[in-house]
Structure 1
Amino acid sequence: MAGSVAKRKDGKWRARYRDDAGKEHSRHFARKVDAQRWLDEVATSQLTGSYVDPAAGRMTFRQFYADWSARQLWVPATRQNAELATRSVPFAETPMKAIRRSHVEAWVMQLSGELAASTIKTRFVVVRSVFRAAVADRVIAADPSTGVVLPRRRRVDAAMRIPTIEDVGRLLSHADSARVSTRKGFRAYVALCAFAGLRMGEAAGAQIGDIDFLRRQLTVTRQLQRDGSTFAVRPPKYGSERVVYLADELVEILSEHVRRHVVSGGPDRWLFMVGEQPMYDNAITWRWRATRQSAGLPKVRLHDLRHFYASGLIASGCDVVTVQRALGHANATTTLNTYSHLWPTAEDRTRKAAGGLMREALKASQGSEPQRNSRSLQ
């Protein structure tokens, strides 16, 4: 870095340097020692790779996000979440270099009175990604979101609601309405969520050709999402493309559903229809609400059926990788973070093993006659 300190006619000292791009920067100081110290700090930052162009941080948070987000390879749902998060910040029009940790903390505090802790974390992660990208691009020297404390989330095991077998049985029995115009055929949809673990959009996106009735398996390759006043066909969540192995009873339900409700069309025919369109979003939501209300289970969410499926796999002895693949999680860490409390602990396994040993010993003791003390016979 080429730099120099020179005295001006007005008595002040001018420190200046040229950056790697050849652009000149300068500042004025009352004392020469201050000018030289500033120049040394700039030189050090350039040597250590932490140098930031003073002009770069003048762009606002909104301007930087607009430029950065345009280059991101996001699926539409991810982009929508990012837009929602960045629109909620009160420092959108603040220059990037002027944003402090206190700004981010005030934003989090504001959200804590409006949203759940999990939603706040989702939005925070997006905003933090923006700041980290700005640091990587040398727009700012440090990430102002570092060290910000988020509201505590409820423990997964406390927040998760898992329907019982009796609950799911009641939901299945109330899913199909006797009224022609309402919920006919919805029972198969509920069964697909409860016994194959599909998400709402994945079940909505199922087509006849996705089901291999001979091999008893379903291929998940798409999901339906709301797009304005209509729907959009999109890939499942990242890493969620998968083959789900179906129980014989579920295959029978799906076969009967196709026979009764899918009267024509090829393999690309939607499995669940409302008129000539696939059933999606609000059409599913109000049918589900009517079903759970009729079943007397108003607090059960549709996503709880996915937890029901996962808990059943775990209770049957399936390992982490098996559950991960069945649910379409991108990695086993996600599965463990969500369902680790359902797997038997070391204490559970110890008690089970000791109980098995004890049962065998007690069984053997029932067939053995107690030996008498030889001295008592004399």
Structure 2
Amino acid sequence: MASVKKRPDGKWRARYRDAAGKEHARHFPRKVDAQRWLDEVTADVMTGRWVDPRSGKVRFRDWFATYAERQIWSRGTRLSAQQALHSATFADMPIGKIANAHIQEWIKGMTVRGAKKATGLAPATIETRYNLIRQAFKQAVRDRVIAEDPTDGVKLPRQRRKAAAMTVPTVEQVRRALECAPDWFRTYVAVCAFAGLRLGEAAGLQLKDVDFLRRTISVRRQLQGANNHALEEVPPKHQSERAIYIPLRLAEMLSAHVQEFGVRGDDEWLFSVNGRLLNRGSAGHYWRETRKAAGLDEFTLHDLRHFYASALIADGCDVVTVQRALGHSVPSITLNTYSHLWPTAEDKTRTAATGLMTAVLDGGADSLRTAEGSP
């Protein structure tokens, strides 16, 4: 029920009941304004876009805490979400009062230097924080806390292509790393270089993950944490569960590793040092020792993953094949990271045209010679 009535004080009272039957009212000096407001909210109720005006009064910080509690996030994602919220300049504003301009000001603020930072945040970091905050606003729209998402249409700083900063070790450099690595650590390096596993994925391998007969490694988990105290077993990145087809010699290395160094615990973890599983800090330490001995100071463990990807591409593997091997959720991630390694359209055109021209001219010359030599 909706109505507009004049009050004794001369103002016009517009009122309506929401879908739950609760009455809402506002007062206007003119009847036309009251009727316009009433028509708008009535239309929102009828189309399902209506939100309770009181819902928008909750602080964004409090709404985000409620939203985050419902999410199935890894420890790393939860920490990133907390950092994003901490940086949000509108965190203490009522969520219904936050406008597009507030979001844009927040984005711009992260790009400039501050009292405690020499430079602004990297565009990729800004985008990550923005996406985490944006998802909270989108959920608020779905939950009828707010009518519209203020993050729509926000402009983010342009990102430079990641390829420009990518370092890919050569075959000789990887050979030196394997030669200089401690015996027990050599197989871990090989798994990163010849199966493309992320640091945590390699650390999380168990004996049951290796099928020596079919020569596959199944990525089912990863170990996250900078030290033993923070170490935890978590699922792989979103849609990164996969089976990797490995060369025979890598399967043989893994078999020899198990025979020589054994496995750890009831779960039969493949890699451990001094009775403890590898974490980001310990794996990084032994890699730094290895690369120092090999003279490879500019390379990280993750660069071995780039080495693996570049080898697949150089051998003619298509985007989807590389995507699945690396555990990327969508092919666009693979293309954004490694597109510079694939032959360009110009390269393909020249190669195809060269082959065509060779077939015509060389084949024509052979035919001509045959014809001239015929009786």
The TM tier, using the shorter chain, reads: 0.7 to 0.9
Question: How many angstroms apart in 1 are the aligned matches of 2:186 and 2:242?
Answer: 23
Structure 2 gap ranges (5+): 113-119
Is 1:161 the equivalent of 2:160?
no
Is 1:77 the equivalent of 2:76?
yes
Whether contact under 8 Å (1:210, 1:267) holds in the other structure is no
Matches for 1:10-159 after TM superposition, within 5 Å:
10-113=9-112, 114-159=120-165
Question: How many angstroms apart in 2 are the aligned matches of 1:213 and 1:64?
Answer: 50
State which drifts further: 237-246 or 80-89: 80-89
How far apart are residue 125 of structure 1 and its match? 0.6
Whether contact under 8 Å (1:208, 1:267) holds in the other structure is no
Whether contact under 8 Å (1:212, 1:218) holds in the other structure is yes
Whether contact under 8 Å (1:208, 1:266) holds in the other structure is no
Identity of aligned residues (%): 53
Q: TM-score, normalised by structure 2?
A: 0.87
Whether contact under 8 Å (1:244, 1:326) holds in the other structure is yes
Per-residue CA shift, 1:18-75, capped at 9, x if unaligned?
A: 1111111111222222222211221222233322211110011112122222223334
How far apart are residue 130 of structure 1 and its match? 0.8
How far apart are residue 365 of structure 1 and its match? 5.2
What is the match of residue 204 of structure 1? 203
Whether contact under 8 Å (1:60, 1:92) holds in the other structure is yes
Question: Which of 157, 173, 178 is matched with 2:179 structurally?
Answer: 173
State which drifts further: 115-124 or 291-300: 291-300
CA change 1:128–1:168 in 2 (3 A) is: same
How far apart are residue 160 of structure 1 and its match? 2.8
Whether contact under 8 Å (1:118, 1:153) holds in the other structure is yes
Amino acid at match of 1:238: H
Whether contact under 8 Å (1:207, 1:267) holds in the other structure is no
How far apart are residue 122 of structure 1 and its match? 0.9
What is the match of residue 376 of structure 1? none
How far apart are residue 159 of structure 1 and its match? 3.4
Name the SS for the 1:303 alignment partner: helix
Whether contact under 8 Å (2:16, 2:42) holds in the other structure is no
Name the SS for the 1:26 alignment partner: strand
Question: How many angstroms apart in 1 are the aligned matches of 2:74 and 2:146?
Answer: 28
Question: How many angstroms apart in 2 are the aligned matches of 1:148 and 1:245?
Answer: 42
How far apart are residue 240 of structure 1 and its match? 1.6
Per-residue CA shift, 1:142-197, capped at 9, x if unaligned?
A: 11111111111111332333222233223223323xxxxxxx42221111111100
Question: How many angstroms apart in 2 are the aligned matches of 1:164 and 1:358?
Answer: 34
How far apart are residue 217 of structure 1 and its match? 2.0
How far apart are residue 370 of structure 1 and its match? 12
What is the match of residue 255 of structure 2? 255
Q: Aligned residues, how many?
A: 363
Whether contact under 8 Å (2:226, 2:280) holds in the other structure is no
CA change 1:227–1:316 in 2 (3 A) is: closer
CA change 1:242–1:267 in 2 (3 A) is: farther
